[in-house]
Chain A
């Protein structure tokens, strides 16, 4: 049963369930068993009980979904990868998750992540690092590394994550799956434990583009509980394009040269040729301010985070330090004990950037750079349909190889970071392998161009024919996966 189920994409499994050829309970149980035997440390919590069968006509048909830990799920641990929220069980469920449940996708489990979504390797989780199913000595990317690894390894049919600077697209690229960051405001942020409010956006991590569209369709929608959410202007359609005729792809000089690993660049160029074969034209272009996006991002995101994370003070929920002398030491020791090194670094950075005397030089300027970056994209979309780049400058790197150099780690987001600063949608699809590891191809579109992006991605996906099955170890949880040594501790930290 497991192998049969595992071979199906989520959309295919849903069709079989609706056709009466598969039971949703069996699909759930198959994935639940695999998730429970997770050796990648991708899950931090897995559902026990098989849920009541979804309604026969439920659009998501009962195919369960893995959810990044930072989505609040009522009564279920929602820890955002942080010790400060250890075993925190919220009294309510995030709108995005509720929407999926109403569409017929029950909760399979909560996936590991970098603490408060701060990281590009998943090594910043208080619950231990996640391993890459293509090579467990390597990182899966981050911060939605647990969701990406779970989908890539076939521990979940599909998953949702959040993207602030690249946290869906980069792990999707490093794990060889599809990941999409929607237009800012398309998916409600209500119940998503915040990292950087003006950038955070939830989106799907899936095996293929069709699953991505299907999952996204049931995530989007205006939410009266999120003032920044907007009505999606059309239904998210199932993509069907076969060609890219007449599509103009802009290739920005700034994001496709220096700093990109040779193997990644080679794959990117090969993908561009495939695009041309499908009828697209390739147009070199400029995004002059893109090289400054990382700087702007590492001011804006930490600044917002410093305020968003100030609520973890040991008063109403979460950790409180066991020993303190007074109110001040309760605060400082609780936050010292509860936050990890990267979170502390960013809280310090953000607090500094907002502090008296520095606001204009840092936060104010970063917001101006943000305007310029958005202007660059606006200008670009007057001339091209999409901007394309490698998703990540590199393939999955070794665990621990970048943990000592924060800026080197931040450079992982070099190609993804300009996109959320401009609030735009972008997808990463697997475009092949370099050194035996997946490479991602990023397609960026104008605001609310998700349907067109999905169509283009679908056409390209069919032409590339990427095979991710080796990472799934089709025979089931007991079969060793390629390149993986069984480890008794499963990486759980």
Chain B
């Protein structure tokens, strides 16, 4: 059961604003989905290694050789707010 408080906590971690109605619905939907998913809790998985990569490749390293960076116009080109050649944001210290 994913209750209101948990939904709000997770939404805060994920930086999502949810209306009261959305919190309510999310609580129900997540509870439902996790109800299905929790069946994997019944499997005997003792000693089974977790897989995070399916291809067994290692050491994809890049030589330490610089390439030109991108023109600033391209870097700032899609920014919602630009000021003094940088990305303008509300101050985190505010």
Which A residues contact B (CB, under 8 angstroms)? 88-89, 91, 183-185, 198, 224, 227-228, 230, 289, 292, 294-296, 298-299, 306, 310, 313-320, 324, 326-333, 335-336, 339, 344-345, 347-349, 351-352, 355, 361-362, 364-372, 374, 406-407, 410, 421-423, 447
Q: A306-B14, A332-B15 are in contact. Are A91 and B77 (CB under 8 A)?
A: yes
User: Using Cβ atoms and an 8 Å threshold, which residues of chain A touch B50?
Assistant: 364, 367-368, 370-371
- How far is A422 from B51 in the complex, measured between Cα atoms in Å? 9
User: Using Cβ atoms and an 8 Å threshold, which residues of chain A touch B81?
Assistant: 320
Q: Which 9 A-B pairs have the closest CB atoms?
A: A423-B54, A367-B50, A317-B78, A320-B80, A332-B17, A227-B60, A331-B15, A336-B17, A368-B48
Q: A295-B36, A306-B14, A326-B90 are in contact. Are A423 and B29 (CB under 8 A)?
A: no
Residue B1 CB within 8 A of the other chain: no
Closest to B55 in A: A185
Interface size on B, residues (CB 8 A): 51
User: Using Cβ atoms and an 8 Å threshold, which residues of chain A touch B2?
Assistant: 352
Contact present for B78 and A89 (CB under 8 Å): yes
Contact present for B41 and A332 (CB under 8 Å): no
Closest to B63 in A: A224
Minimum CB–CB distance from A488 to chain B (whole Å) comes to 33
Contact present for B90 and A333 (CB under 8 Å): no
Q: A295-B37, A324-B90, A348-B30 are in contact. Are A369 and B62 (CB under 8 A)?
A: no
Q: A198-B53, A406-B29, A406-B32 are in contact. Are A296 and B40 (CB under 8 A)?
A: yes
Task: Pick the contact of A316: B22, B39, B78 (CB < 8 A).
Answer: B78
Contact present for A292 and B43 (CB under 8 Å): yes
User: Using Cβ atoms and an 8 Å threshold, which residues of chain A touch B13?
Assistant: 351, 355
Minimum CB–CB distance from A344 to chain B (whole Å) comes to 6
Minimum CB–CB distance from A188 to chain B (whole Å) comes to 12
Subset of 17 A-B contacts with CB under 8 Å: A91-B70, A185-B57, A230-B57, A313-B15, A330-B89, A339-B16, A345-B30, A349-B30, A349-B34, A351-B13, A355-B13, A365-B40, A368-B45, A368-B49, A370-B51, A371-B51, A406-B33
- How far is A17 from B63 in the complex, measured between Cα atoms in Å? 42
Contact present for A318 and B48 (CB under 8 Å): no
Chain B 17-36: CB-based contact to A (< 8 A → 1; otherwise 0): 11000100010011011101
- How far is A365 from B46 in the complex, measured between Cα atoms in Å? 10
